[in-house]
Each structure stands twice: as structure tokens, then as C-alpha cells.
Amino acid sequence: MLCPYCGFDESNVLESRDAKEGKATRRRRECLKCSKRFTTYEEVGNVELKVIKKNGTKEDYDRAKLERCFEKACWKLTKEERSKLIDEIEMKLLNWESVEIPSREIGLMVMNKLKDVDPVAYFRFATVYLDVNSVDELKKILINLGKNGKKSKIANKKN
């Protein structure tokens, strides 16, 4: 770490503690040449995720796209609830074996989250994501959702 006063590259760490809610480490240092003290902050650098689109092109991962997607599909959820779901997906993305992730995998992660949280939102998203073009395809999604998802309110009222 370079001293901001004299530019010397060696210093002693006098004190370390968490900062920024545990997302950084604050270190108080003393330069070995000029003996002046200064503070540094260490943070984990951002991981640059790349999304591989259907046509093979690559683009930077953009959280805002996921936010818009969740906002359209599950408008009943609060912004905080949607943000929590997106955080969970991002954790999976950061733990992916590569920094390049196929867009279809992200779409499947979204579908799985929505299926657990809001079956109607899952249905909305699936019809767009799976590019549904016929009533038969809609039926397949509904049948699959009925097998794996929560029972609908209508089904519960009939029982």
C-alpha cells in the first residue's frame, strides 16, 4: 500500500475492523518511512458477469433487466420482496462455474423462483420466456404448474 504522503510502499497495520456493514475492512496504517498515519478500505471487487444470448453474443450482466422482469411478472410483491428474490438468483450466478452464463439458465432460475413464490407470476413469465404460440402450449404449462405448483385458490374453494 503506497503512503499518500511520501509514496513509500511499506506500512504497518495498526488497527483493522469491519466497515460498510461487513462488506469492507477498514485499516489504520503507519508509513515506515515518514511515520504518518492513514486509513485504507479493502473491498471485494465486482465480478464482471457476462450473459451469453441465444444468438451467441455476449453482454454485461444487468441487474436492472431482472428487476424489470420481476416487476412485470410479480407486481403484487413489494420491491423489497422482489429484490430478495433477485439477490438469491445473483448468488447462484456468482457461484456459477464460469463468469459467462447462458441467458436460458438465468431464465430457468427466474422461472423456478416464480414457481415457488407466485404461480400466476410464473405463468405470466413462462408464456413470454418460452415463447408460447398456441393454446396447447398454454395447457402444457398449466398442467405442469398444477402438478408441481401450489393449488390454486379456485381449486381450494371447490374442496
For residue range 113-156, list pLDDT tens digits in order: 988 888 888 888 888 888 888 888 888 888 877 776 554 333 33
pLDDT of residue 141: 83
> What is the pLDDT, as a whole number, of residue 157?
34
pLDDT at 148: 61
pLDDT at 45: 65
Task: Tell me phi and psi for residue 42, to 5 degrees.
Answer: -110, 130
**pTM of structure:** 0.60
Q: State residue 46's pLDDT score.
A: 65
pLDDT score recorded for residue 4? 94
Tell me the C-alpha distance between 144 and 111, whole Å.
12
Report residues of the chain scoring pLDDT below 70: 45-47, 148-159
Instruction: For the chain, give the longest Cα–Cα distance.
Output: 81
Residue 125 in contact with residue 114, Cβ under 8 Å? yes
